[in-house]
Chains A and B, each alone.
Chain A
């Protein structure tokens, strides 16, 4: 699923500026599941903005709403009236939803209240781990179902590097938390599968043009298009 984290309130306030009619728009799909930007979180943010408006007597009015999915225009139709009344929309959807909103209602000002961060797997309640980089050229068939592109800190195709120790990466997370070495995991699981021979294979440089280096990607399924 797509995960996102809310921006700090001060950053959101700076984006809203002196606009008087503010609509906080949640999205009830991915960002609701990761407890960041669903209707409930939109309501909380709207309250925070209202309190701030009262404290500083800005005269700003803050409403909230939520779309079932901000990334699909047909669902945006359902909140079009509220958007129409607002000077600014503070979207809590992922980057796709925010941009759908900005495009659908252009030139309405739409700003993000969240930082979209990854395609993650829920590990336990309230914990998500990055699992896919949407690189457009999946290699995990040969790497024991473990993605070296996002799970190796250096995206090695032929890991592990010399910095792997006791199954851990030499790199630590922002809070100094330890990160598993993806290639140590790959090695162990390939051995369990009796496929450790795959570790000797020289994997060629990756085709990054199929990823974001190729420019914005577009997918068309001709056979699925309406006749």
Chain B
């Protein structure tokens, strides 16, 4: 007789990690209009090729369909969601209300983020809420789940179940503080972590050395994040304009060396596959998070070519 595993939330993602399998997640940005079919279309494209998909929350501070209804939509299409939640747009009351709602609607993976600043988006005059920060948010989810307590300390009858995610940027400064910040997130209650897009693999490996030296990889599931490049334009844009990105020159040059169009698309996918294979070999990397921004159709081919198919099924 075997003892049933006690899961924190029992999501597909949690089970895959718990069985020691290499996880693959994707990303789906909801549209900047009321057209919910866009989300459904992206879900259909990714289903079967990723274990769960992040649903962004007004990413880059641009208004889109909210993450909770979008998460519900992808789940209705048979793909597990990871609902992103930022601290920029809601205070602790709104966040906890949405979290209770997420549980009741069957959304149990939540990724806790600070959020891109309003100045990057399409409503730069908006008031930034920032009632909590990402670490406060992680702690709040943990206390709701494990202590049945709201942030104020009040108790609730039925606790929501969450598999708690966070993000970390190995390329942010101060570099020596980055693994300490991950430790803070682990202590606050994070179960899994996805990194910012990795282009500078040597620097990521150096960061992982610090992470392993602290034994952090044994306390949290680490997913290496990557973004397949469509062409040199995207590489240059990320290098120069996206906060916290570290795109080395050799990547830019490699993409610049091929013709824009089918050739650069193929090169971008090839590069992504090479990177996945290299990152998967890094000790402590438990999965890969593929952020194919507005290029979701590239994901199946990349996952296949990286030798990550078929995706595992868990009971």
Contact = CB atoms under 8 A, between A and B. Distances in A.
B240 interface: no
A70 B128 CA distance: 32
A161 B173 contact: no
Nearest to A168: B173
Chain B CB within 10 A, most for which of A188, A202, A205: A205
A158 interface: yes
Chain A CB within 10 A, most for which of B117, B171, B173, B196: B173
Interface string A137-161: 0000000000000000111111111
Nearest to B170: A162
Interface residues of A, number: 30
Which secondary structure dominates where chain A touches chain B?
A: loop
B117 A165 contact: no
Nearest to A167: B173
Interface in A190-222: 199-200, 202-206, 208
B59 to A, nearest CB: 14
A154 B133 contact: yes
B172 A165 contact: yes
Contacts, number: 98
Contacts of A181: 173
Contacts of B20: none
Nearest to A173: B119
Contacts of B243: 162-163, 165, 170
Contact of A164 (B139, B151, B173): B173
Nearest to B246: A165
Interface in B168-220: 168-169, 171-174, 177, 180-181, 183-184, 187-188, 196
Given A154-B128, A165-B243, A200-B180, A184 B173 contact: yes
A81 interface: no
A199 B117 CA distance: 23
Contacts of A206: 131
Chain A CB within 10 A, most for which of B132, B174, B187: B174
Interface in B115-141: 115-117, 119-120, 128, 130-136, 139-140
Interface string B241-255: 001100000000000
Contacts of A172: 119
A205 B174 contact: no
Nearest to A188: B174
Contacts of B73: none
A166 interface: yes
B223 to A, nearest CB: 15
Nearest to A163: B243
Contact of A161 (B134, B136, B180, B184): B134
B89 to A, nearest CB: 12
B184 A154 contact: no
A17 B130 CA distance: 39
Nearest to B196: A162
6 A-B pairs with least C-beta separation? A162-B169, A170-B243, A158-B135, A163-B243, A162-B172, A156-B133
